[in-house]
Amino acid sequence: MPSDANRSVPDLLGDLLQQSSSLVRKEVQLVRAEVGEKVSQVGAAAASIGVAAALMMAGLVILLQAVVAFLVTFGLSTAAAGAIVGVIVAVIAYILLRAGITKMKAASLTPERTINQVSRDATAAKEAVQ
């Protein structure tokens, strides 16, 4: 193979095209791998949330009934005690829901490593051309 100084322009352009094509294929593979990891994270998080919700439902209902009964012993009516407990539970549920949604936002699913790698490759390509 001749040295770079003795190679023709078509040979150099052919090599550039081949290397660029190879780089793009590797970057696509990296994106697929990283997006697959992120999808797995979302699936695992959703499964954990679902299982936890199912397991805690029965215990939570019984505990809330106990709290209502406890408040009734202080002279509140059953309806008032139930309303107080219901509002508190709704506020807690809202806070937990917002936390779960925040964790699943697109920003946390961005393929950061791939973006950094593409940026480094682009910088290296610019430097090689200059």
Long-range own/partner contacts, residues 86-91 (CB < 8 A, 24 or more apart) = 89/60, 89/64
C-alpha 53/C-alpha 72 separation (Å) is 28
For 45-100, how does the pLDDT look when each residue is reduced to its tens digit (9 = 90+)? 888 999 888 888 989 899 999 999 999 999 999 999 999 999 999 999 999 999 88
For 29-40, how does the pLDDT look when each residue is reduced to its tens digit (9 = 90+)? 888 888 888 888
For 94-107, how does the pLDDT look when each residue is reduced to its tens digit (9 = 90+)? 999 998 888 777 66
At 4 the pLDDT is 61
At 30 the pLDDT is 84
Nearest to 81, CA basis, from 99, 60, 66: 66
